Each structure stands twice: as structure tokens, then as C-alpha cells.
Amino acid sequence: MAHEEISLRLPNYICSEWKEGVGADHKLVDPVTGEELAVVSSSGLDLSAALEHARRIGSATLQTLTYQERALLLGKIADVLTAHRADYFDISTKNLGATQADAAFRH
């Protein structure tokens, strides 16, 4: 059975921007059909710069927030995850072969 070639490349969010790695792609496949779902790579990305950015920018930004502001941000993250719940179930089923009960998360 011939599989359709997938062109979905998942970028990495690094140093406050989306960047694609180069070469040495890691293929994400459907465990049941073997169909390639997407490819991702972190090759060629400056991970030392990413760590420094996280320490310098990310940490400093978080430290300026109050506990209440941090809690509000966490609530917004939960809202986004909940809004896209069906998509995550689909991804989990295709990539891991998980049932909906296996992939479920509660809020």
C-alpha cells in the first residue's frame, strides 16, 4: 500500500520565534497504518542560545508577574487546551494508537 508523502513540518518555538530544524528529520507516524503524519527536527538550532534566552528573558518576565497574574495565564492555557481537546484526541489516536479514554484529560 503506497502512502501519500506528507509535507507537514512542525517548527520549534525557540528564542521567541518559530524555527524549523534542518536535516535529520524525526518522522511522526500513525502506529497502526505506518502513515507519516508530520516531521520535526531540532538539528541546526542553537539550543545553548535557547537556554540562555529562557534564563534571561523568560525567567525575568515570569518574575515580574504576581501570583494572580501567573494564575490567570495558566487559566488561559487551560482554556486553549480545552478548546482544542478534540484535535488532541485525534493526534493521540493517530500518533500513539490511544483510545479516547487513554488520551483524555480532565479539568
Q: How confident is the model over 23-44, as a mean pLDDT?
A: 84
User: How far apart, in whole angstroms, are the C-alpha atoms of residue 6 and residue 102?
Assistant: 26
Kindly tell me the sign of the dihedral angle through the C-alpha atoms of 88, 90, 91, 95.
Answer: positive
User: How far apart, in whole angstroms, are the C-alpha atoms of residue 99 and residue 90?
Assistant: 9
> Does any domain span residue 19?
yes
Number of domains within the chain: 1
Element (H, E) at 26: strand 26-29
- Residue 106 is predicted with a pLDDT of 55
> Does any domain span residue 65?
yes
> Does any domain span residue 106?
no
> Does any domain span residue 3?
no
> Does any domain span residue 57?
yes
Q: How confident is the model over 14-36, as a mean pLDDT?
A: 85
> Does any domain span residue 53?
yes
- Residue 57 is predicted with a pLDDT of 93
Question: Which candidate, 47, 49, 2, places its Cα nearest to that of 21?
Answer: 47
| pLDDT beyond 90 at 37 | no
